[in-house]
């Protein structure tokens, strides 16, 4: 989006009619007082003590936000340990028998860890890591699927002050090697393998291949037995259960960490190019995720809460592990896939565990819609009190389906915008305070200053697309921003001028803001299309398409320029449909976009496809679609969750042109 295009931006369709939270929800909400916005504003940054004070500090912080030159340090002077906050303090407060992690495996196996049991195993594994030579500040790489040993290893690292770097289990040996090299990580925890849809995945052999590509030695690797195929262990390799047995009942004194010491490192999900490492702090990050789990997800200690993300992504770190456990609730963990053995697996688990709060992604919701409401209808979902989404823009139709068919019209839906870089939620409604507008994430959280600005950095007027920036520090900000290692994104062409700000972070997302201050996120700035000099957000066009009856998902990219030489791109739409729908939707799609966005934005080419290419974290990979559209070499498709769709797309597109 080049700044000189600003004046030509089309108006964006306003989000659909607001929905108010039911009185019964508001009455019990953790945060129900609308004055909270003003209170935070008047008392910034001290207002953030409300988040910091949710934690137990080994030594109290002296300042909520310390500024020294260009650095901004949250909870300066404070010392704490994340594993104490997630475990010890709940055990000491008489909740040792409360279930911390309730795990469901692939083949109907289940395991539950009480806070006491979890603390014990965390200490036993922390003692094991120490025995293997792990010291404070050594980076430990965790390459495991969704098994309880993953959060156990994370908390064990946290206990001894060793930052963890979780690498998504589905990643290749190359991806693991790149991340271990980049982090200079000499310790690895992995597993022998696991089953995915009934087929064994040999995780250990991927890890072995990665080791061959490292530019340093691995000091020790720990292997959890999950497949049980008798995978042999080599030099400097250790069996997890042997280690635990050897350290049975060990106690490990938690290492006090400074608020701004690193808790973990995580690589961005990488829809584009090289993965970037993001380091998060101990005090600011943990406060931010605990506070947002409490105020936005409305989590109470007595709840059963389920976030269906993978711990390999930031959502799992913040809202399966650290946020919920800091609040002492029961966090459900699910190893399998949502359609195995049946397409009602998610609803069966919600019923079985009587889940109170459920947090998932729009891509999952659109899959549920495609499968049909008969699957949720088979189950009693009345335990649900609140629903949440994260990861991509959610189109109003999917929002309403979720609200109605999963929440029975009675659960508020929080559409939470945030990123790996922000650590925790930034823009969303507080469910006990504000009305929701389907399709729009909502206002920035109290104490968060997020704005939509034009190319010159000026706040933008109602409903025009602009750049989403955050112009005040927030507790969950990464260490690079704490230390002022350039929060300014390098000035690329088409990025806004940020010179007028004292302090600013550009999210690289585009968005609009309405007259009530509700922000609608349109996706990455690269996802804008220039049609004859008019800029459209792909998300707006996609929303119009996916809101058409019969459509499940849509992705829009710009195609080759039209031959009339005006330099205008053609609009390509890739559309997947529910069963029983197909080609006849073509006219409806064009009409929907023409009416809801603009006739200019109506797709020139519509390709119907059974599925869209997705990243491993479930986001639509537009970069890949753009390459398919241009007929470019696709290069490495191993970052895709479903590489098989690429061939199907190539042949579908050939028949369209
Ligand atoms: C938490 C997470 C971040 C990117 C972000 C944006 C998109 C996330 C969204 C959303 C619209 C929402 N995104 N939440 N877009 N509405 N509620 O997903 O982190 O993997 O780093 O992705 O995801 O484009 O910039 P991460």
Query: Measured in angstroms, how far is the CA atom of residue 420 from the centroid of ligand 1?
Result: 8
Nearest Cα neighbor of 283 from 584, 65, 483 is 65
pLDDT of res. 647:
81
Whether 122 is in a domain gets the answer: yes
Q: How many other β-carbons are positioned within 10 Å of the β-carbon of residue 94?
A: 8
Q: Give the angle 237-205-215 at the CA atoms, nearest 5°.
A: 70
- pLDDT tens for 106-131 read 877 999 999 999 999 999 999 999 99
Distance 44 CA to ligand 1 centre (A): 26
CA-closest candidate to residue 227, choices 265, 201, 250: 201
Residue of minimum CA distance from atom 2 in ligand 1: 419
Q: What is the pLDDT of residue 539?
A: 83
- Indicate which atom in ligand 1 lies nearest the CA of residue 415: 17
Query: Cβ neighbours of residue 343 under 8 Å, at least 6 residues apart?
Result: 371, 375
Residue nearest to atom 3 of ligand 1 (CA): 419
Residues whose beta carbon lies within 6 Å of some atom of ligand 1: 268-269, 313-315, 390-393, 415-420, 441, 507, 509, 521, 523-524, 617
> Looking at residue 628, what is its pLDDT?
83
Q: Determine the distance separating the centroid of ligand 1 and the alpha carbon of 50, expressed in angstroms.
A: 25
- Ligand 1 pocket test: which of 391, 394, 425 has the largest number of ligand atoms within 8 Å of its C-beta? 391
Name the domain count of the chain: 2
How far is the centre of ligand 1, averaged over its atoms, from the C-alpha of 270 (Å)? 12
Kindly give the distance from the C-alpha atom of residue 319 to the centroid of ligand 1, in angstroms, as a whole number.
Answer: 14
**CA nearest ligand 1 atom 8, residue:** 391
Residue 354 lies in a domain: no
Mutate which of 269, 365, 419 for ligand 1 pocket (most atoms within 8 A of beta carbon): 419
What is the number of the ligand 1 atom nearest to the C-alpha of 389? 17
Would residue 271 count as lying in a domain? no
Kindly report, residue by residue over 25-61, the tens digit of the pLDDT: 999 999 999 999 999 999 999 999 999 999 999 999 9
CA distance 222 to 240: 6
Index of the ligand 1 atom closest to the CA of residue 315:
1
Q: Does residue 642 lie within any of the structural domains?
A: yes
66 C-alpha to ligand 1 centroid (Å) = 29
Of 197, 229, 255, the position where a domain reaches its end is: 255
- Residue 505 Cα to ligand 1 middle (Å): 15
Instruction: Compute, in angstroms, the gap from residue 411 CA to the centroid of ligand 1.
Output: 22
Residue range of the domain that includes 615: 532-657
**Ligand 1, atom nearest to 394 Cα:** 16
Q: Rounded to an integer, what distance in angstroms lies between the CA atom of residue 24 and that of residue 21? A: 8
Instruction: Report the candidate in 496, 572, 562 with the shortest Cα–Cα distance to residue 536.
Output: 572
3 state DSSP class of 509:
strand
Which residue puts its alpha carbon closest to atom 26 of ligand 1?
A: 419
Centre of ligand 1 from the C-alpha of residue 416, in Å:
8
Q: Which residue has the tokens 């936005």?
A: 296
Task: Flag whether 426 is in a domain.
Answer: no
Given 235, 255, 275, the domain boundary residue is 255
What is the CA(523)–ligand 1 centre distance, in A? 8
Name the stretches of the chain with pLDDT < 70.
1-15, 269-274, 485-494, 533, 561-568, 635-636, 657
pTM score over 0.75: yes
- The answer to whether residue 1 sits within a structural domain is no
Atom number, ligand 1, closest to the C-alpha of residue 539: 11
Q: Residue 249: which region, alpha, beta or left (left: phi > 0; alpha: psi -120 to 50)? A: left
Q: 598 CA distance to ligand 1 centroid (A)?
A: 26
Ligand 1 pocket test, candidate residues 418, 429, 470, 478, most atoms within 8 A of CB = 418
Whether 195 contacts 341, CB under 8 Å: no
β-sheet bridge partners, residue 333: 103
Return the structure tokens found at 37. 């916005």
| Per-position b or e across 357-377, b if 16+ CB within 10 A of its CB | bbbbbbbbbbbbbebeeebbe
Q: Residue 250: which CATH number?
A: 3.40.50.980
3-state secondary structure of 15: coil
Report which of 245, 257, 272, 231 is spatially closest to residue 127, judged by C-alpha positions: 245
Q: CB 404: neighbour CB atoms within 10 A?
A: 13
DSSP letters, 550-617, are TEEEEEEEEEEEPTTSS-PEEEEEEEEE-TT--GGGHHHHHHHHHHHT-GGGS-SEEEE-S---BBTT
Q: Given 232, 255, 278, which residue is the final one in a domain?
A: 255
CA distances from 565 to 558, 562, 568, 575 (A): 16, 6, 8, 28
Residue 318 CA, closest ligand 1 atom number: 1
Q: Cβ neighbours of residue 632 under 8 Å, at least 6 residues apart?
A: none
User: Looking at the domain assignment, is residue 560 inside a domain?
Assistant: yes
Q: Tell me the CATH number at 578.
A: 3.30.300.30
- Average pLDDT across the chain, whole number: 90
User: Is 186 a member of any domain?
Assistant: yes
For residue 4, the SS3 value is helix
Q: What is the pLDDT of residue 10?
A: 45
């Amino acid at each position: 989006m080049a700044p000189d295009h600003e004046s030509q931006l089309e108006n964006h369709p306003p989000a659909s009619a607001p929905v108010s939270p039911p009185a019964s929800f508001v009455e019990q909400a953790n945060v129900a007082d609308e004055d909270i916005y003003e209170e935070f504003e008047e008392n910034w940054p001290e207002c953030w003590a409300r988040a910091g004070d949710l934690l137990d500090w080994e030594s109290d912080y002296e300042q909520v936000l310390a500024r020294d030159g260009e650095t901004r340090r949250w909870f300066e002077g404070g010392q704490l340990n994340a594993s104490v906050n997630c475990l010890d303090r709940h055990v000491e407060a008489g909740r040792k028998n409360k279930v911390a992690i309730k795990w469901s495996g692939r083949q109907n196996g289940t395991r539950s860890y009480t806070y006491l049991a979890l603390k014990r195993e965390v200490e036993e594994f922390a003692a094991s890591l120490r025995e293997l030579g792990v010291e404070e500040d050594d980076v430990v790489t965790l390459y495991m699927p969704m098994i309880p040993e993953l959060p156990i290893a994370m908390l064990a690292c946290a206990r001894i002050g060793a930052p963890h770097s979780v690498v998504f289990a589905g990643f290749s040996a190359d991806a693991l090697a790149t991340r271990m090299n980049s982090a200079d990580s000499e310790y690895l925890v992995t597993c022998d393998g696991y089953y995915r849809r009934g087929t064994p995945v040999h995780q250990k052999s991927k890890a072995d291949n990665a080791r061959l590509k490292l530019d340093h030695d691995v000091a020790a690797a720990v292997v959890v037995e999950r497949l049980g195929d008798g995978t042999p262990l080599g030099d400097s390799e250790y069996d997890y259960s042997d280690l635990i047995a050897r350290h049975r009942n060990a106690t490990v004194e938690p290492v006090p960490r400074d608020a701004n010491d690193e808790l973990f490192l995580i690589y961005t999900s990488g829809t584009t190019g090289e993965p970037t490492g993001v380091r998060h702090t101990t005090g600011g990050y943990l406060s931010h995720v605990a506070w947002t789990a409490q105020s936005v997800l409305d989590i109470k200690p007595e709840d059963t809460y389920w976030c269906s993300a993978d711990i390999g992504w930031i959502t799992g770190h913040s809202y399966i592990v650290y946020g919920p456990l800091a609040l002492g609730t029961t966090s459900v963990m699910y190893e399998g896939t949502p359609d195995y053995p049946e397409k009602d697996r998610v609803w069966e688990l919600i019923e079985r565990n009587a889940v109170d709060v459920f947090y998932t992604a729009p891509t999952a919701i659109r899959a549920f819609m495609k499968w049909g409401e008969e699957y949720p209808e088979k189950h009693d979902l009345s335990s649900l009190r609140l629903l949440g989404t994260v990861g991509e823009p959610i189109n109003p139709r999917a929002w309403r389906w979720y609200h109605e068919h999963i929440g029975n019209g009675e659960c508020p839906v929080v559409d939470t915008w945030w990123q790996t870089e922000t650590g925790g939620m930034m823009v969303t409604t507080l469910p006990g305070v504000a009305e929701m507008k389907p399709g729009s994430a909502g206002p920035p959280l109290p104490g968060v200053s997020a704005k939509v600005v034009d190319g010159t950095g000026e706040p933008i007027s109602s409903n025009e697309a602009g750049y989403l920036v955050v112009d005040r520090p927030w507790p969950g900000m990464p260490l690079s921003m704490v230390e002022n290692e350039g929060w300014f994104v390098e000035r690329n062409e088409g990025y806004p001028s940020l010179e007028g700000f004292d302090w600013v972070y550009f999210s690289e997302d585009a968005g609009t803001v309405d007259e009530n201050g509700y922000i609608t996120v349109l996706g990455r700035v690269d996802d804008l299309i220039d049609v004859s000099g008019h800029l459209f957000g792909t998300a707006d066009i996609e929303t119009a398409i996916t809101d058409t009856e019969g459509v499940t998902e849509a992705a829009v990219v710009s195609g080759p320029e039209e031959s009339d030489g005006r330099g205008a791109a053609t609009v390509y739409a890739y559309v997947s449909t529910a069963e029983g729908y197909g080609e006849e939707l073509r006219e409806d799609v064009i009409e929907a976009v023409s009416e809801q966005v603009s006739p200019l934005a109506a797709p020139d080419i519509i390709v119907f496809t059974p599925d869209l290419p997705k990243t491993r974290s479930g986001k639509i990979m537009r970069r890949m679609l753009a390459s398919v559209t241009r007929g470019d070499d696709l290069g490495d498709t191993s970052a895709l969750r479903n590489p098989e769709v690429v061939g199907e797309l190539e042949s579908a597109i050939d028949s369209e042109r």
